[in-house]
Amino acid sequence: MSLENKNNYITQRNLITGGAGFLGSHLIDKLMNLNQQVICLDNYFTGEKSNIQKWIKHPNFELIRHDVTEPIQLEVDKIWHLACPASPIHYQQNPIKTSKTSFLGTYNMLGLARRVNAKFLLASTSEIYGDPKVNPQSEDYYGNVNPVGIRSCYDEGKRISETLCSDYKRIHNLDVRIIRIFNTYGPRMKPTDGRVISNFIYQALSNKPITINGNGNQTRSFCYVEDLIEGMIKLMNSDINTPVNIGNPNQIKIIDLAKKIRQKINPNLELKFNPMPEDDPFQRQPNIQKAKEKLGWFPKTSFEEGLEMTIDWFIDLINK
Ligand code: NAD
Ligand code: UDP
**Every domain of the chain and the residues it spans:** 3-186+223-247+285-300
pTM of the model: 0.97
Q: What is the pLDDT of residue 9?
A: 56
Q: Which ligand has the shortest distance to the CA of 228?
A: 1
**d(Cα 108, Cα 120) in Å, to the nearest integer?**
12
Q: pLDDT averaged over consecutive 10-residue blocks of the chain (320 residues)?
A: 49 95 98 97 97 97 98 97 97 97 98 98 98 98 98 98 98 98 97 95 96 98 98 98 98 98 95 96 98 98 98 94
Spell out the CATH class of 3-186+223-247+285-300: alpha beta
Q: Half-sphere exposure of residue 102, counting CA atoms within 13 Å on the CB side?
A: 24
| Residues with a CB atom less than 6 Å from ligand 2 | 88, 183, 194-196, 199, 211-213, 218, 220, 254, 277, 280
Q: Which ligand has the shortest distance to the CA of 50?
A: 1
| Type of residue numbered 146 | N
* Segment 96-113, tens digit of pLDDT: 999 999 999 999 999 999
